Structure 1
Amino acid sequence: MQAHPLRLHPGQDLRDALEQTVRQLGATAAFVVQGIGSLSVAQLRFAGIEQPTELRADLEILTLAGSVAPGGAHLHMSVSDAQGRVFGGHVARGCIVRTTVEILLALLPDHEFSREPDPQTGFMELHIRNATQRK
Protein backbone atom coordinates (compact mmCIF):
# COMPACT_ATOMS: atom_id res chain seq x y z
CA MET A 1 0.00 0.00 0.00
CA GLN A 2 1.22 3.47 -0.87
CA ALA A 3 -0.11 6.57 0.86
CA HIS A 4 -0.90 9.54 -1.36
CA PRO A 5 -2.06 12.74 0.38
CA LEU A 6 -4.06 15.07 -1.80
CA ARG A 7 -5.43 18.60 -1.49
CA LEU A 8 -8.29 19.85 -3.62
CA HIS A 9 -8.83 23.55 -4.30
CA PRO A 10 -11.85 25.88 -4.43
CA GLY A 11 -14.17 25.20 -7.32
CA GLN A 12 -13.03 21.63 -8.00
CA ASP A 13 -15.55 18.81 -8.29
CA LEU A 14 -14.58 16.38 -5.53
CA ARG A 15 -15.49 13.13 -7.30
CA ASP A 16 -14.07 14.18 -10.68
CA ALA A 17 -10.81 15.30 -9.05
CA LEU A 18 -10.39 11.99 -7.18
CA GLU A 19 -11.07 9.89 -10.27
CA GLN A 20 -8.73 12.05 -12.37
CA THR A 21 -5.96 11.80 -9.75
CA VAL A 22 -6.17 8.00 -9.68
CA ARG A 23 -5.98 7.88 -13.50
CA GLN A 24 -3.04 10.33 -13.58
CA LEU A 25 -1.17 8.25 -11.02
CA GLY A 26 -1.73 5.15 -13.15
CA ALA A 27 -3.31 3.40 -10.17
CA THR A 28 -5.58 0.42 -10.75
CA ALA A 29 -7.02 0.37 -7.21
CA ALA A 30 -7.28 2.92 -4.41
CA PHE A 31 -9.23 3.62 -1.26
CA VAL A 32 -10.05 7.01 0.23
CA VAL A 33 -9.02 6.44 3.83
CA GLN A 34 -10.43 9.76 5.02
CA GLY A 35 -11.23 13.24 3.83
CA ILE A 36 -12.02 16.54 5.50
CA GLY A 37 -12.69 20.03 4.23
CA SER A 38 -15.52 22.20 3.02
CA LEU A 39 -18.01 22.28 0.18
CA SER A 40 -20.30 24.95 -1.22
CA VAL A 41 -22.44 22.31 -2.95
CA ALA A 42 -22.92 18.67 -2.05
CA GLN A 43 -24.68 16.15 -4.26
CA LEU A 44 -25.59 13.17 -2.07
CA ARG A 45 -27.69 10.18 -3.01
CA PHE A 46 -29.53 9.03 0.08
CA ALA A 47 -30.23 5.33 0.77
CA GLY A 48 -32.97 3.89 -1.40
CA ILE A 49 -33.30 7.03 -3.55
CA GLU A 50 -32.18 6.95 -7.19
CA GLN A 51 -31.36 10.63 -7.72
CA PRO A 52 -28.93 12.75 -5.66
CA THR A 53 -30.14 15.56 -3.43
CA GLU A 54 -28.40 18.90 -3.83
CA LEU A 55 -27.35 20.76 -0.69
CA ARG A 56 -26.21 24.38 -1.20
CA ALA A 57 -24.63 25.95 1.87
CA ASP A 58 -21.34 26.29 3.70
CA LEU A 59 -20.80 22.60 4.43
CA GLU A 60 -18.09 20.84 6.41
CA ILE A 61 -17.02 17.34 5.38
CA LEU A 62 -17.05 15.16 8.48
CA THR A 63 -16.21 11.87 6.79
CA LEU A 64 -15.28 10.78 3.29
CA ALA A 65 -14.39 7.21 2.39
CA GLY A 66 -14.68 4.76 -0.47
CA SER A 67 -13.03 2.94 -3.34
CA VAL A 68 -11.66 4.48 -6.53
CA ALA A 69 -10.87 2.61 -9.74
CA PRO A 70 -9.85 3.87 -13.18
CA GLY A 71 -13.46 3.33 -14.26
CA GLY A 72 -15.02 5.29 -11.41
CA ALA A 73 -15.52 5.68 -7.69
CA HIS A 74 -17.88 4.49 -4.96
CA LEU A 75 -17.72 7.11 -2.23
CA HIS A 76 -19.74 7.87 0.89
CA MET A 77 -19.61 11.20 2.72
CA SER A 78 -21.19 12.93 5.68
CA VAL A 79 -21.41 16.72 5.83
CA SER A 80 -22.73 19.21 8.36
CA ASP A 81 -24.30 22.61 7.81
CA ALA A 82 -24.05 25.83 9.87
CA GLN A 83 -26.76 24.56 12.25
CA GLY A 84 -24.87 21.33 12.89
CA ARG A 85 -27.33 19.16 10.96
CA VAL A 86 -25.62 16.13 9.43
CA PHE A 87 -26.42 14.59 6.06
CA GLY A 88 -24.78 11.56 4.51
CA GLY A 89 -24.94 9.32 1.49
CA HIS A 90 -23.34 8.33 -1.80
CA VAL A 91 -21.16 11.03 -3.37
CA ALA A 92 -22.41 12.10 -6.81
CA ARG A 93 -20.73 14.44 -9.26
CA GLY A 94 -21.22 18.11 -8.47
CA CYS A 95 -19.75 18.27 -4.94
CA ILE A 96 -17.90 21.58 -5.21
CA VAL A 97 -14.95 22.46 -2.96
CA ARG A 98 -15.50 25.69 -1.01
CA THR A 99 -12.08 26.35 0.59
CA THR A 100 -10.15 23.08 0.66
CA VAL A 101 -10.51 19.31 0.83
CA GLU A 102 -7.71 17.21 2.27
CA ILE A 103 -7.75 13.51 1.39
CA LEU A 104 -5.59 10.50 2.14
CA LEU A 105 -5.61 8.00 -0.71
CA ALA A 106 -4.28 4.49 -0.18
CA LEU A 107 -3.00 3.15 -3.49
CA LEU A 108 -3.03 -0.64 -3.85
CA PRO A 109 -0.51 -1.43 -6.63
CA ASP A 110 -0.96 -5.22 -6.35
CA HIS A 111 -4.71 -4.99 -7.03
CA GLU A 112 -7.12 -3.98 -9.75
CA PHE A 113 -10.63 -2.72 -9.05
CA SER A 114 -13.54 -2.73 -11.47
CA ARG A 115 -17.32 -2.47 -11.23
CA GLU A 116 -19.22 -5.46 -12.56
CA PRO A 117 -22.86 -6.55 -12.48
CA ASP A 118 -23.70 -8.61 -9.40
CA PRO A 119 -26.57 -11.04 -9.99
CA GLN A 120 -27.38 -11.19 -6.27
CA THR A 121 -27.75 -7.41 -5.70
CA GLY A 122 -28.62 -6.29 -9.22
CA PHE A 123 -26.07 -3.47 -8.97
CA MET A 124 -22.61 -2.79 -10.36
CA GLU A 125 -20.43 -3.95 -7.46
CA LEU A 126 -16.73 -3.87 -6.67
CA HIS A 127 -14.74 -6.67 -8.27
CA ILE A 128 -11.22 -7.15 -6.91
CA ARG A 129 -8.38 -8.86 -8.74
CA ASN A 130 -4.84 -9.26 -7.50
CA ALA A 131 -1.79 -8.88 -9.73
CA THR A 132 -1.65 -12.59 -10.58
CA GLN A 133 -5.24 -12.46 -11.90
CA ARG A 134 -4.61 -9.58 -14.33
CA LYS A 135 -4.92 -10.42 -18.00
Structure 2
Amino acid sequence: MQAHPLRLCPGDDLRGALEDMVRQRQVSAAFVIQGIGSLSVAQLRFAGNESPAELRDDLEILTLAGTLSADGAHLHMSVADSRGQVFGGHVAHGCVVRTTAEILLAILPEHRFSREYDSGSGFMELVIRSKPLPE
Protein backbone atom coordinates (compact mmCIF):
# COMPACT_ATOMS: atom_id res chain seq x y z
CA MET A 1 0.00 0.00 0.00
CA GLN A 2 1.22 3.48 -0.86
CA ALA A 3 -0.10 6.56 0.92
CA HIS A 4 -0.70 9.46 -1.43
CA PRO A 5 -1.80 12.83 0.01
CA LEU A 6 -3.55 15.13 -2.45
CA ARG A 7 -4.76 18.72 -2.34
CA LEU A 8 -7.46 20.02 -4.65
CA CYS A 9 -7.78 23.75 -5.34
CA PRO A 10 -10.68 26.21 -5.57
CA GLY A 11 -12.92 25.45 -8.55
CA ASP A 12 -11.83 21.81 -8.93
CA ASP A 13 -14.53 19.18 -9.39
CA LEU A 14 -13.90 16.80 -6.48
CA ARG A 15 -14.94 13.56 -8.15
CA GLY A 16 -13.61 14.54 -11.57
CA ALA A 17 -10.18 15.42 -10.16
CA LEU A 18 -9.91 12.08 -8.36
CA GLU A 19 -10.96 10.14 -11.47
CA ASP A 20 -8.49 12.15 -13.58
CA MET A 21 -5.66 11.37 -11.15
CA VAL A 22 -6.43 7.64 -11.37
CA ARG A 23 -6.34 7.75 -15.18
CA GLN A 24 -3.21 9.91 -15.42
CA ARG A 25 -1.23 7.80 -12.94
CA GLN A 26 -2.68 4.54 -14.26
CA VAL A 27 -3.84 3.52 -10.79
CA SER A 28 -5.85 0.29 -10.91
CA ALA A 29 -6.99 0.24 -7.27
CA ALA A 30 -7.20 2.87 -4.54
CA PHE A 31 -9.20 3.82 -1.48
CA VAL A 32 -9.99 7.33 -0.37
CA ILE A 33 -9.15 7.00 3.31
CA GLN A 34 -10.42 10.45 4.34
CA GLY A 35 -10.99 13.92 3.00
CA ILE A 36 -11.64 17.31 4.54
CA GLY A 37 -12.06 20.79 3.11
CA SER A 38 -14.83 22.94 1.74
CA LEU A 39 -17.21 23.10 -1.20
CA SER A 40 -19.35 25.82 -2.73
CA VAL A 41 -21.55 23.26 -4.49
CA ALA A 42 -22.20 19.64 -3.51
CA GLN A 43 -23.94 17.11 -5.72
CA LEU A 44 -25.02 14.25 -3.44
CA ARG A 45 -27.26 11.33 -4.32
CA PHE A 46 -29.21 10.45 -1.21
CA ALA A 47 -30.07 6.81 -0.42
CA GLY A 48 -32.84 5.40 -2.58
CA ASN A 49 -32.81 8.32 -5.06
CA GLU A 50 -31.76 8.09 -8.69
CA SER A 51 -30.58 11.68 -9.16
CA PRO A 52 -28.27 13.82 -7.03
CA ALA A 53 -29.48 16.78 -4.99
CA GLU A 54 -27.60 20.06 -5.44
CA LEU A 55 -26.54 21.93 -2.30
CA ARG A 56 -25.23 25.50 -2.70
CA ASP A 57 -23.73 27.11 0.39
CA ASP A 58 -20.44 27.43 2.21
CA LEU A 59 -20.09 23.71 2.88
CA GLU A 60 -17.54 21.93 5.06
CA ILE A 61 -16.49 18.42 4.07
CA LEU A 62 -16.76 16.36 7.26
CA THR A 63 -16.01 12.95 5.77
CA LEU A 64 -15.04 11.59 2.37
CA ALA A 65 -14.34 7.92 1.69
CA GLY A 66 -14.62 5.41 -1.13
CA THR A 67 -12.93 3.43 -3.87
CA LEU A 68 -11.25 4.50 -7.09
CA SER A 69 -10.57 2.41 -10.18
CA ALA A 70 -10.29 2.76 -13.94
CA ASP A 71 -14.07 2.16 -13.99
CA GLY A 72 -14.64 5.32 -11.94
CA ALA A 73 -15.23 6.31 -8.35
CA HIS A 74 -17.61 5.13 -5.66
CA LEU A 75 -17.47 7.86 -3.02
CA HIS A 76 -19.57 8.80 -0.01
CA MET A 77 -19.34 12.19 1.67
CA SER A 78 -20.92 14.14 4.49
CA VAL A 79 -20.99 17.93 4.44
CA ALA A 80 -22.24 20.57 6.87
CA ASP A 81 -23.85 23.80 5.67
CA SER A 82 -23.39 27.26 7.21
CA ARG A 83 -26.06 26.45 9.83
CA GLY A 84 -24.41 23.18 10.85
CA GLN A 85 -26.99 20.98 9.16
CA VAL A 86 -25.37 17.78 7.89
CA PHE A 87 -26.11 15.99 4.61
CA GLY A 88 -24.54 12.84 3.27
CA GLY A 89 -24.70 10.55 0.28
CA HIS A 90 -23.02 9.35 -2.90
CA VAL A 91 -20.68 11.91 -4.47
CA ALA A 92 -21.68 12.89 -8.02
CA HIS A 93 -19.80 15.06 -10.50
CA GLY A 94 -20.19 18.79 -9.89
CA CYS A 95 -18.93 19.05 -6.30
CA VAL A 96 -16.95 22.29 -6.55
CA VAL A 97 -14.05 22.93 -4.15
CA ARG A 98 -14.45 26.28 -2.37
CA THR A 99 -11.07 26.79 -0.63
CA THR A 100 -9.34 23.41 -0.44
CA ALA A 101 -9.88 19.67 -0.34
CA GLU A 102 -7.21 17.64 1.44
CA ILE A 103 -7.46 13.95 0.66
CA LEU A 104 -5.51 10.87 1.67
CA LEU A 105 -5.47 8.03 -0.84
CA ALA A 106 -4.26 4.49 -0.28
CA ILE A 107 -3.00 3.15 -3.60
CA LEU A 108 -2.99 -0.64 -3.81
CA PRO A 109 -0.55 -1.61 -6.61
CA GLU A 110 -1.00 -5.33 -5.92
CA HIS A 111 -4.74 -5.18 -6.73
CA ARG A 112 -7.07 -4.29 -9.56
CA PHE A 113 -10.57 -3.00 -8.92
CA SER A 114 -13.41 -3.16 -11.41
CA ARG A 115 -17.16 -2.70 -11.30
CA GLU A 116 -19.34 -5.51 -12.57
CA TYR A 117 -23.05 -6.19 -12.50
CA ASP A 118 -24.12 -8.10 -9.40
CA SER A 119 -27.41 -9.97 -9.85
CA GLY A 120 -27.92 -10.07 -6.08
CA SER A 121 -27.88 -6.30 -5.62
CA GLY A 122 -28.90 -5.24 -9.12
CA PHE A 123 -26.02 -2.74 -9.26
CA MET A 124 -22.51 -2.48 -10.61
CA GLU A 125 -20.46 -3.61 -7.61
CA LEU A 126 -16.78 -3.70 -6.69
CA VAL A 127 -14.78 -6.72 -7.85
CA ILE A 128 -11.34 -7.09 -6.31
CA ARG A 129 -8.60 -9.01 -8.09
CA SER A 130 -4.99 -9.57 -7.10
CA LYS A 131 -2.36 -8.73 -9.68
CA PRO A 132 0.18 -11.46 -10.34
CA LEU A 133 3.44 -10.89 -8.47
CA PRO A 134 6.53 -10.26 -10.63
CA GLU A 135 8.84 -13.24 -10.81
- Say whether residues 1:117 and 2:117 are aligned partners: yes
Alignment of 1:19-98 (within 5 A): 19-98=19-98
Q: Distance in 1 between matches of 2:71 and 2:115?
A: 8
Partner of 1:99 in structure 2?
99
* Secondary structure, aligned partner of 2:19: helix
- Say whether residues 1:5 and 2:2 are aligned partners: no
Deviations 1:27-57 (A, max 9, x none): 1000000000000000000000000000000
> CA RMSD for the aligned pairs?
1.0
* Secondary structure, aligned partner of 2:23: helix
Amino acid at match of 1:101: A
Amino acid at match of 2:108: L
Q: Distance in 1 between matches of 2:68 and 2:80?
A: 24
Q: TM-score, normalised by structure 1?
A: 0.97
Cα drift, residue 70 of structure 1: 1.2
Q: Distance in 1 between matches of 2:107 and 2:87?
A: 28
* Secondary structure, aligned partner of 1:10: coil
Q: Structure 2: where are the runs of 5+ without partners?
A: none
Cα drift, residue 132 of structure 1: 2.8
Cα drift, residue 96 of structure 1: 0.3
- Structure 1 stretches of 4+ with a deviation exceeding 4 A read none
Q: TM-score, normalised by structure 2?
A: 0.97
Amino acid at match of 1:58: D
Cα drift, residue 94 of structure 1: 0.3
Q: Distance in 1 between matches of 2:16 and 2:23?
A: 11
Q: Distance in 1 between matches of 2:124 and 2:18?
A: 19
Q: Distance in 2 between matches of 1:36 and 1:97?
A: 11
Q: Distance in 2 between matches of 1:101 and 1:54?
A: 18
Q: Distance in 1 between matches of 2:98 and 2:70?
A: 26
Q: Structure 1: where are the runs of 5+ without partners?
A: none
Number of aligned positions between the proteins: 133
* Secondary structure, aligned partner of 2:132: helix
